[in-house]
Amino acid sequence: MKSRLPANDSRHRRGFILVAVLILIMLASMVAISLLFRLKAEDTAAAAGAGAEQAWAAAMSGVQEAMRVGAAAKPGSTDWRNLPRAFRDRPVCDDGSDRWFFTVYSPPDSDALAELRFGLTDEAAKLNLNAAHTTNFTGYQRLTVQHIAALRDFLDFDDFVRPEGAEQEYYSALPQPYAVRNRPLDTLEEILLIRGFTPSLLYGEDANMNWRLDPNENDGDERPPADNNDGRLDLGLQPLLTVSSYDPNLDNDGVPRTDLNNSADRLPHVELPPALTNFTAALRTNKFQLGHAADLLEAKLKIKDAAGKEVEISSGIGKEELPVALDLFTTSARERTEGLVNINTASVEVLASVPGIDEPLAERILSTRRSISPERRTTIAWLYQEAVVDAALFKRIAPFLCARSYQYSFRVVGFGLPSGRFRVLDVVIDVAPDEPVITYLRDLTRLGLPFKLEPEASPAQGTAKSGIRNPKSEVRQVQMKRFRGACLGRNGNFRCVDSARGVRPSSFFLLHSALSHDA
Ligand SMILES: [Ca+2]
Ligand SMILES: [Ca+2]
Ligand SMILES: [Ca+2]
Ligand SMILES: [Ca+2]
């Protein structure tokens, strides 16, 4: 029996199919649109992430440049303290949407508080808290007797509480107790763990750590931080203290020095005054030990000659020979000396805290060093040559002093224009090893931009595009290596690098190789 659908029914069914197809098309379109949105969002997120990473890579290029300049610095030179052509608005690459730059900067000199320096800061220009001889904070008026006692107790190896000091008992009684260090500090910020040391003592009025006087840092108590509203930015203890400085026991050519106290150590293969050769031989035969190479200055020695008669011999080291003697000789087998203060870079405050140096002498050192050439400043001999001190005082203060820099601190901002993305890093490098290392790295991006981003047009455009094959992929490569790298996380944003090993910067060479070295 044949059944026939009524015409009405057939139309109904066709209508139904049409609606179903329309709904399907609509659903498919919605899926497609949502996918598109999602892709777009992912793209935006990726672009933002890539921007932050690019900024990081640009900043690391600045670190690399600081290492190059620091490692190339000659003893006695101080050009690196302010070198805008190497450190200001240096172009790194152009990725098609942004041009990337870095700027390396340091706090201004105390007599020029308005502006930043585009250069490095010598860690040997500060007092090293970890150096055994750093016990004298006479120049640091903001430190009380209690501060100094607590500081020494925190660092010394014993648990004996000195008068006005604080050992474990004090730190155990805190709401959040922690262990007293009883050994050297790894980073300067650890000073904040010591009783009485507050952020305002360490950072002064510079609450956002940009080394510039912001409105809220010069309005008294109106807005935090508290400040004295005197139109000058107090930077606290930070510019005066370090835990990083050391001087390798090498001469200015990088050759290990001859140890006068070690008979097995041969005299250097250079022409020495005959008197010095005799003097050294006499020292060694008679087993005389010197405390420092400076003890050779105008030195005399009474010995018995072959006939048993007492004779006086002279070292032959006077004013003119002193620089060579200081450069070539040592009295210690140690590979490095911690915390020597650089007389070519240290401030009056720091110099006046070196044992044997008072404020008037520190002022004389500063005024004299301005008038002599970098060639004259390659060793500390100029203090005696320029009659800043006499021979006796020179010998007394020489063991605490040096005339060169190996560890540098600075901040670097990596940034892209026109997007304005940026990263700010706080860095300490050590250029004493054959391959310079980063010994401290901290991301300060969250504290904001240190200054307006407006590179001068001329240097940026000339070199930004030259010599870069594929900037984007190079930056990515740097980033990937960074995550494999050895920056150890500590306290959230706090990136501290093991100062004993440091981080080899080879991972950043790729990006850096794109820089032009016309500077
Ligand atoms: Ca202790
Ligand atoms: Ca500030
Ligand atoms: Ca204020
Ligand atoms: Ca002030």
Give the whole-angstrom CA distance, residue 327 versus residue 377: 12
Whole-number Å distance, alpha carbon 52 to ligand 3 midpoint, is: 31
Whole-number Å distance, alpha carbon 235 to ligand 4 midpoint, is: 9
**Environment of ion ligand 2 (residues, CB < 5 A):** 206, 208, 210, 212, 214
Give the whole-angstrom CA distance, residue 90 versus residue 456: 10
Nearest ligand (C-alpha, residue 157):
1
Whole-number Å distance, alpha carbon 126 to ligand 2 midpoint, is: 21
Nearest ligand (C-alpha, residue 451):
2
Whole-number Å distance, alpha carbon 491 to ligand 1 midpoint, is: 24
Give the whole-angstrom CA distance, residue 338 versus residue 201: 24
Where the chain has pLDDT below 50, the residues are: 1, 457-519
Predicted confidence at residue 132, as pLDDT, reads: 66
Predicted confidence at residue 133, as pLDDT, reads: 66
Whole-number Å distance, alpha carbon 449 to ligand 2 midpoint, is: 10
Give the whole-angstrom CA distance, residue 119 versus residue 66: 8
At which residue do the structure tokens 């750590």 appear?
Answer: 209
Give the whole-angstrom CA distance, residue 456 versus residue 476: 27
Whole-number Å distance, alpha carbon 307 to ligand 2 midpoint, is: 74
Strands (E), 277-430: 300-304, 310-314, 329-330, 336-338, 341-342, 401-402, 407-417, 422-430
* CB-based contacts of 399, cutoff 8 Å, min separation 6: 133, 291, 292, 294
Whole-number Å distance, alpha carbon 151 to ligand 3 midpoint, is: 28
Whole-number Å distance, alpha carbon 164 to ligand 4 midpoint, is: 30
At which residue do the structure tokens 């100094």 appear?
Answer: 148
Nearest ligand (C-alpha, residue 224):
3
Nearest ligand (C-alpha, residue 158):
1
Whole-number Å distance, alpha carbon 101 to ligand 4 midpoint, is: 32
**Bridge partners, residue 121, by sequence:** 409
State if pTM tops 0.85: no
Whole-number Å distance, alpha carbon 218 to ligand 3 midpoint, is: 6
Whole-number Å distance, alpha carbon 207 to ligand 3 midpoint, is: 9
Whole-number Å distance, alpha carbon 219 to ligand 4 midpoint, is: 9
Whole-number Å distance, alpha carbon 192 to ligand 4 midpoint, is: 21
Nearest ligand (C-alpha, residue 194):
1
Predicted confidence at residue 105, as pLDDT, reads: 96
Nearest ligand (C-alpha, residue 203):
2
CB 455 within 8 A of CB 464: no
Predicted confidence at residue 410, as pLDDT, reads: 97
Whole-number Å distance, alpha carbon 208 to ligand 3 midpoint, is: 12
Predicted confidence at residue 5, as pLDDT, reads: 54
Predicted confidence at residue 518, as pLDDT, reads: 37
Whole-number Å distance, alpha carbon 145 to ligand 1 midpoint, is: 16
CA dihedral for 51, 53, 57, 62, sign (positive or negative):
positive
Helices (H), 223-353: 274-285, 322-328, 348-351
Ordered DSSP codes for 123-161: GGGSEETTSTT----TT-TT--HHHHHHHHHHHSSS---
CB 63 within 8 A of CB 495: no
Nearest ligand (C-alpha, residue 217):
3
**Environment of ion ligand 3 (residues, CB < 5 A):** 216, 219, 223, 227
Whole-number Å distance, alpha carbon 415 to ligand 4 midpoint, is: 30
CB 516 within 8 A of CB 467: yes
471-484 and 7-72 are packed helices; what angle lies between their axes, rounded to 10 degrees?
Answer: 80
Whole-number Å distance, alpha carbon 211 to ligand 2 midpoint, is: 5
